[in-house]
Amino acid sequence: MRKRAPDLPIRAAHGLVDRSYVGRMWNGIGVYCVSTYTSPGKSWQSLASEQATVAVILEQQGGIAEPRKRLNAPTPRVRYDAGHTMYIPPNADIWAFGDSTNLVRGVRMRFEISNIESLLHEEFDLQKWSEPVLVLYDERIREIAKLIWEECQTEEERPQLYGESLTVALLSCLFRSSQAQPRVSQVGLSRIQLKRTVEYMQASLLRDVRLKELASVAGLSPSHFGRAFKASTGCTPHRWIVQRRIQLAQRLMRESGKSIVIASQMAGFANQSHFTKAFRAIVGATPRAWLHDVGVEGTRGDLA
C-alpha cells in the first residue's frame, strides 16, 4: 500500500497565491513534488524545519528563485536558471526567495539525519550534513529529481522499490564521501551476493519487495547495493523485477492460455494499465500486439 508523506506546512510566507503538492513516503523520507504560485514582485517563505531538507528546483517562470540565508542578501551565484539543488540542516534559518517569479516547481525531501546514515552506511559523510548547501548545479541530481517528480504524479499503485531507489540515488549523489565513491561505483556484487540476491528476488517476485530488504540480503547499504547490482546485471533492481514479471506473464499467456488481465494479475501487477505500460517498455509492443506476433489467439476480449 502506498504511504503518504506528512503534511508540508507553509512557514512565514509572503506573496504566495497558491500552492499544491503530492507527497510520498520512501525509505522513511517525506518526498514532495511542490508547485508554488506567487504574486508579482518579491515573495518568500521559511524553509526551516526540525528535519533536514533537500530541495531541487526543476522549473521557475517569470523571474529568479533562490535560497537565502538573509532575506535582504542575495546568494552569490554564477547561474540563475532552474535546476539547482539546496540542502538545509535541521533548524537552519533558510528562506525560499522569489523575485518576479509566478511559478516555481521542485522536489523537496525531509528526513532525519540518522535515517540517511542507515541508508548510506560507510558512504555517509557526516561533515557534509553540518552546513547548508544553497546553490548546487548537478545534472545527475536534476535528472533523478525529474524521475521522482514523474513517479509522484502517477495515481497508480506502483512498487515502492522504484521510488526508494531514486531517493537513495539522489541523496547518495549529494552526500557520499569522496573516499567511498571510487570504490563503490566500480565494483559489482560478488558471485555469492548476486546468487543470494537473485534467489531472494525471484522468491519475492509477486510482492512489493523493499530496497532495504535486498540490501540486507547482500550485506550492503541500500546506496551501495543499488549501484553494485546494476554493475553486475546491467539493470536496476526495480527493472530486474519488472522484467521477470513480464516474462512470467508471457509464459502464462503463451503456454497456459491465460488472458491478458489474468496473466497481469498473476504476475504481480496492480492493474492492467501498469502492466501494459511496463510490457511496452520491456518488450516494445503491447500485450495484445505481442500475442498476435507470436501467433496466440483467444485473448478473450482484453484490450491491452
* CA pair distance 183, 129, nearest whole angstrom: 22
**Do the Cβ atoms of 107 and 55 come closer than 8 Å?**
yes
**Do the Cβ atoms of 31 and 167 come closer than 8 Å?**
yes
**Do the Cβ atoms of 94 and 67 come closer than 8 Å?**
yes
Cell numbers at residue 155, please? 495515481
Q: What's the whole-model pTM score?
A: 0.88
Cα 50 to its chain centre, rounded Å, is 23
Q: Could you read off the pLDDT of 3-17 as tens digits, one per residue?
A: 678 899 999 999 999
* CA pair distance 231, 167, nearest whole angstrom: 19
Q: Could you read off the pLDDT of 205-260 as tens digits, one per residue?
A: 999 999 999 999 999 999 999 999 999 999 999 999 999 999 999 999 998 888 99
Band (187; pLDDT cuts 50, 70, 90): confident
**Do the Cβ atoms of 291 and 253 come closer than 8 Å?**
yes
* Domains in the chain: ranges and CATH: 11-165 (2.60.120.10), 178-234 (no CATH), 243-293 (1.10.10.60)
- Count Cβ neighbours within 10 Å for each residue of 105-116 and write b for 16 or more, e otherwise: bbbbbbbeeeeb
